[in-house]
Structure 1
């Protein structure tokens, strides 16, 4: 009988003796496109950097009886790995080693205790029973739990279709199977699982690498530790606006004008020496949690001041497009550039924060560290004013990317309101959705530019748009170097020139192999040049996450008489393709062009894509119209790039 917790580093390849069960108390699978793409981007970077490297993904917690393992914690990521294995198995015809992870004997390796519809759905997929009722679109829509898994599978498939043009999927699958490592924690046999699950999910905040970096840097500052600690704490919470963080950290925050970014003013900000400035973040082991009978565990990480904060019911809340670790790394790159140093050699990743900052700590230069803290203050300031963020729409409870205006009232408090949709918003959205979610390299040069040239003008200003367009055009046409290298080099803009757009690429018939970036870039160009800007569907349109290439003239049409076979050079060409969300692609499926056109016209809120709007203006859709549309779209791209070519 197991009486203590055990911990072991495992890979999918070492778990062949186990089958896993998702228990009833677990929430359903909820991961969306953003989380899945973040995971795959991260693993891909590790794979492409060094195919022999080990990548540590996460921990998961099990209770085991023989070869049966109940997943107490970590099921979202673990389920995603199983879905990845399923897609790779299909796309590599079971040639990748990861295919062996799908089943244990004749049974699914992963099952759901009370979700028979999921088990039946996954079994039907494994057996490739295309006519099974469990794979029927209407059956899936009746079961919300199934719908999330179906969308996840489409997202993963779209990702690997893109990848297959440049990478060997067999090798990548083998890498995930053997080199992606997880930490498996196993509970004692007599553990109360419901109590453990509840405790884990209310047990407070773990110490982050950023907390360790902060402590080490402050330790090297000989004086004014409290002031610099407060600067850090003002920047730390990325899911609240900067002025609200400062409101908590500095009692006399009303003396600062948050509408105009400038350097931290030593004379302006005072602080109380007797106020506790540390963030107590207790670390709990699972053994500790079970040893004591905690009813609830509350860890207060707020910074308390003598100022009572006014509650404003109209305040708008936000979610950042990056976390604090990422902001630190972007700031440090700008700092290195300003100090005349080269970029850090390590991979740009939150997990490397301590290693990356070790060089600054080794230099042990108090004045340099103070300069970094003050730069962090200013970077966070311009980030909040000029960079898009996720904002919740109170009416429909959905999030949208927005650029936000800051307003002040007579009491010295500030509020945020949305700007009207602008080219700046659309371009930043395009960069966010087509970039690496974990890094967003475009932010390093853009934030550096804003520090020098923001001129206290609105984030929708044309001067900012021109810079961002030029930067994106230049970086998107330069090959041979990584995004990390290019984004740091672009800090020296006078040494960078644009290459010509490769028109021949768009004349190829790559089908799902076309880079998603170019569809999204075209959406931005179409939006910017749209004529009827007051039309309702256009005004509601946003560039959003899209990851699924749709053939307008269907690949496997339901009606072959209506859609005779056409040559691949037309079927798979850029003119016949649009980039949709997984849900939209599933909705159109292999329906005829006339049906798709009718469905598109019935949408009363907004357009699926602006490229689709141009396509459905045609009365018919034959190879002639496909080629004409392709030429029209290529010309729009060409003109956009020629504006910044020099």
Structure 2
């Protein structure tokens, strides 16, 4: 008979917090992250549900609390693959009820929190749930031991995020429940133990548990691809001598340092560095089926995740910290971060991690990469073509030929020609590029000294799109064709650090300069706009001269000759 490898059963909580299970949260799991809103919502929902139930709890409708996925070969030992947030929160809830209620119920709840030792069986008292080792001493002392909540609530020391969540949730649930009379609390406790159910899925090994975990959580539960990969990778590291715990901490430290969203993006970038092609699946599948970091998880974390995350952080924060060309390299990062796509990022991460100690090489590469990314953006190159271009770039970085004449890092003549057509044309109509191009010009004209940290940057026409027929604008530019050719070009555009004012658009030139372009301190935040303010008139001749000068500056900046 084929050995059964998976079991799934529905149990009331009284049959979950019992001697059949000794729950343990493995070190590779995320820290406890439920916050007050989630914890109090659980309690509120239970109390609200009970209001509509019969007086006799035995006749109440069942209440489903979700599922648990456990690695449980033989015996009670159970590693929690999925469900740690619920188990931890339910233990906190039972601890709070135990503190508030009378002795009979308190003793019953104590049995659900603690497994009592048996002298005849030579067993000791032990908690039914062991949290991650980083939190277990704290959790045991203040939650699982009796009569310690007051001590917990009076703590005045720095706690980890997970410990802070434990404290805040216990305090919030305590405040919520202590308002109720004993009868309501007894009713809640009876229902919690006998009327609240979970589906417990058990499997004897980590591989099948991971498959279940992945299937369940790829269907929309609140887990990210990196949560699934963390389980997949760190579970393959030996638990001896705290090794798994140390690598799990490395993983979590990186996630905390760069933020959860960026951490997920990082894995997409690593996927590109490793596979060098557009994904035809998803990040989890690509790592499992193609990259396979679990074959040598320590090497993956030490040699790839750590250095790539450090490079990614430096790029995002524009914070390269070498000894030479620091400001120039960070300036390239600043302009790269204004590109309207992230397809350039894998190549940037790879190069910075590979040559972090060669500042001269980094400076040359990132100036060329910023140029390439900017021109691909200006030319509105399609995503598949961008991905293919950067994949080829990663390949030549590997080969050490990124600066060769045929390198994809360089622009070809047709790309330069196309970019010139864009910047010489009605650039205002290409909404995705106009701010970036004008800021690049402004920076160059100000010798790179300008800082663009304004919460809002907009682009405004100097000569209006629809001038009044009796205005000075019409006298300066009576030709409809001239107006059509000039109105959207670089030479007729200004930068503003404010929301656009449609009424001000048609102001006469002098009023527009003083009331719209010229803020109260007497000058604009942008050199380009200050140049406009100094002009006495705004004729086609002025616009054309400015257009020529600005285009020539961009030709110089991006070497478009």
Pick the structure with more helix per residue. Answer: 2
TM superposition score normalised by structure 1: 0.42
